[in-house]
Amino acid sequence: MYTSVYLNKCFHRCSCRGGLHTSGNPILSWNSQGTLSSINPSNTPISRKRSPYKVSLDDIVLEFGTSSHHQNLLSGLLSFRSALHSIGIIVGFQWLDGSFLECVESLRHCPPNDVDVVTFYVVPNGQTQRTLEISHPQLFDHDSLKNIYHVDAYFVELKGTAVGKLISESTYWYSLWSHQRDSLLWKGYLQIDLSPTDDNIALDNLNRIRSQGSSS
């Protein structure tokens, strides 16, 4: 059941911004705990409309780019994706989670530090995981990514990974991200395509939001 208490305390989330492009695929409002529900409350418990929710990159920009701090984090996420695309990593998807998707400004009285990202990807033709890491070490270094792009980033290779390991990795991240770390409260998270198709639209939306101005 949604309440207005947390929504009033948190910064305003709204995708109805004039002149901005949107896919029309809405992201759930925060629930009374200030998180995304793990199951869409408008559906039955056995419905497949549950976390991770598939949304577009520009939907995320429109929903969460509501302060200069959030806009900076989104800019880092877009730059991180651009860096991946530049070395041929374009097939797969990303799971997004962490305090960035929660109403932490109200609940914990602090802004999110970064965006949690797990990239499930297919290694480009002619490359291996090892050759990618050797030729682009900074792009696969966790601390560097956090400092440069403000993303808490992890990687899971799709093609070429043993089925058992892939299942184990997916189960691990689903289990970890389906609950809050401190309270074990069930929560939801988001999935976006790794393809660069939506990135220009998302960047255009972010730039427009910045030009219109927002709360800090």
Residue 180 maps to a domain: yes
Note down the domain range covering 38. Answer: 4-12+28-212
Residue 170 maps to a domain: yes
Residue 136 maps to a domain: yes
Residue 195 maps to a domain: yes
Q: Before 52, cis peptide (omega within 30)?
A: yes
C-alpha triplet 181, 184, 186: angle, nearest 5°: 110
How far lies 129's CA from each of 101, 124, 180, in Å? 30, 9, 31
Residue bearing the bigger pLDDT, 12 or 105: 105
Angle between helices 68-86 and 142-149 (to 10 degrees): 130
| In the predicted structure, residue 183 carries a pLDDT above the cut 90 | no
What pTM value is reported for the model? Answer: 0.81
159 pairs with which residues across the strands? none
Residue 36 maps to a domain: yes
| In the predicted structure, residue 133 carries a pLDDT above the cut 90 | yes
pLDDT tens figures, 64-108: 988 899 999 999 999 999 999 999 999 999 999 988 888 878 777
Number of structural domains the chain divides into: 1
Considering 7-16, 32-41, 100-109, the range whose residues carry the highest mean pLDDT is 100-109
Residue 18 maps to a domain: no
Residue 93 maps to a domain: yes
Give mean pLDDT, residues 35-53: 68
Residue 23 maps to a domain: no
